[in-house]
Amino acid sequence: MSSEVVLNLMIKVSEALVALIRALQAIVFPHQCRACLSIIDVSSVFCSPCLAQIQPIVSVLLPLTKTKTLKVIALASYNGVIRELVLKKFKGDRLASRQLAQLLLQMSPLAAQPVDVVVPVPLHWTRYAWRGFNQAVEMGRVIAGAKKAVLQSCIMRHKKTIFQSRLSAQERQENVRGIFSLHPWYRAVGMDSLRGKHVVIVDDLCTTGATLTQVARMLTPYQPASLTAVVAARTL
């Protein structure tokens, strides 16, 4: 038997083994709908009936300055199956974060949005240490990968905030004022990487918009071509 025939045979055997392992995996660990646990295709997040529950919402414009606004793209309002998926971060479920980004890319105006740089909203380090990951970074990584963009974690959060929804509009702005700063690395190398680029700020949830506008106000002086916020859900 020639070496070429042996090689082809080995490739065929390994392909068959991979297919067998995948088939066994699907039996032992079937891919389930994240809401109702019915068995679905491996590339899907929800089954069709659960997916149909997601009601797309229009993008909102938040005022940044007298002349500038920030467009906030969201997958859906904060309820139902999307709320459940957002809340899975408290159970250490990184896959849920990646799936939220996947849905945003498939079902929201983000699909048509040009993106060069992705800036995730940071967590305070104590929350990061407790949870082990930042849902915004996980989402940002998927979005950056799909858009062939750069994930740039250039913002740091150095103060924990109290839960925004208990506060008045004035208190919300006060609550987030001065909680963010530029990462020391970007203070050193500068932020020219944003100039003339389509920049997207990513977070899992937009409740008051105060956090997103605070981050946006930090980035606007670096003259991006466009600045847009993308969240999985919003309550606004």
Which residues of this protein are in contact with Zn ion, per CB under 5 A?
33, 35-36, 47, 50
* Separation between Cα atoms, residue 203 and residue 176, nearest integer Å: 15
Measuring CA to CA, which residue among 113, 89, 112, 85 is closest to residue 100?
85
Q: How far is the CB of 85 from Zn ion (least distance, A)?
A: 12
Cβ closer to Zn ion: 44 or 134?
44
Token pair, residue 154, equals: 């250039």
Token pair, residue 16, equals: 């068959």
CA distances from 100 to 55, 159, 185, 202 (A): 14, 26, 29, 11
Cβ closer to Zn ion: 33 or 144?
33
DSSP state of 124: B
Do the bridges between strand 117-120 and strand 198-206 make them parallel or antiparallel, or are there none, so unpaired? parallel
How many other CB atoms are there within 10 angstroms of residue 123's CB atom?
20
Per residue, the 3-state secondary structure of 182-199, as one string, reads: ECHHHHHHCCHHHCCCEE
Measuring CA to CA, which residue among 152, 228, 156 is closest to residue 193?
152
Cβ closer to Zn ion: 35 or 70?
35
Q: How far is the CB of 46 from Zn ion (least distance, A)?
A: 5
Q: How far is the CB of 33 from Zn ion (least distance, A)?
A: 3
Cβ closer to Zn ion: 47 or 194?
47
Q: How far is the CB of 96 from Zn ion (least distance, A)?
A: 14
Q: How far is the CB of 40 from Zn ion (least distance, A)?
A: 7
Cβ closer to Zn ion: 84 or 192?
84
Q: How far is the CB of 54 from Zn ion (least distance, A)?
A: 11
Cβ closer to Zn ion: 33 or 231?
33
* Separation between Cα atoms, residue 96 and residue 106, nearest integer Å: 15
